[in-house]
Structure 1
Amino acid sequence: MEFIRFGLVGGVGFIVDVGVFNLLRVTVLDPSHVHGGPVYAKLISTALAIAINWLGNRFWTFRDRRRTDVLRESVEFVIVSVAGMGIPLLCLWVSHYVMGMTSLWADNISSNVIGLGLGLGAIFRFVLYRVWVFGEARVRPPAAVDTAGKTTSLS
């Protein structure tokens, strides 16, 4: 079930990523006006998708294993997500700048189909989120107050 929930959360993130990428790519970051526009658009769209995915995974996919240290959990989530972002960014950069395929269609195929849609990045992120970010061994039990007023762990 976790993998299905992960996929659904990722689907929402994918829609946001592709939508924002295309909106930026054809407007304010059009490559005819901004050199590097497609790469900047992909960085922005992916950052927004990462934030949405973190919320969905924290509060739905891995809700039983979210940690009390929210800052550390979110930093680790971003580290894994940024590492996973390298795959579509590299595909986009090679296609657009090395191979000279500069159309909107080519940018979408390289970053959103080859980079995101083939599943390698998703599998990479799922495994690291499940084992490292939301790993069962990393969840700290909530503290409780005993009858003497001392804070103790519930483990």
Structure 2
Amino acid sequence: IKAYEERESKRQKLKEAGDGSNGGNGAAEEPKVIPIVPFQACVDHFAQEETLDDFYSTAAQKKGKALRSVGFKSFPRYLVVYLRRYYVDASWRPCKLDVSVDIPEEISLEGLRSAGLVPGEEELPEEAPAAAAAGGGAGAVEPNQ
């Protein structure tokens, strides 16, 4: 990363100093350095715990903070991964991440295996308790039994 930052800084200085040419010395322009990101770093970023500030709890019927985590109960035989190379900047413009992701032939996602609910954790109800007590309302859909 340090080599990339140094070369990018040098390129910016040359671009600001002149008209963007190579200074008239006839040398070929230095190729752009593209950072290589390991696939495991992408998986780790995807799986990291996230705090949700405005989460609405159907159990408590109010907004509050919640922690979101990702885990798998079982794994598919084949896994299709879509790497998002675009993001939205502060002004809501799409920008491309100019990186190369090094993906191995085989990966282990064992670190993402979920053991289920952690102690002290309980599942949220599907709907608000008040709506369930009222019989679901006029537009409620009941599944066939």
Same fold (TM over 0.5): no
Task: Give the TM-score normalised by the residue count of structure 1.
Answer: 0.24
Per residue, is there more strand in 1 or in 2? 2
Structure number, greater radius of gyration: 2
Task: Give the TM-score normalised by the residue count of structure 2.
Answer: 0.25
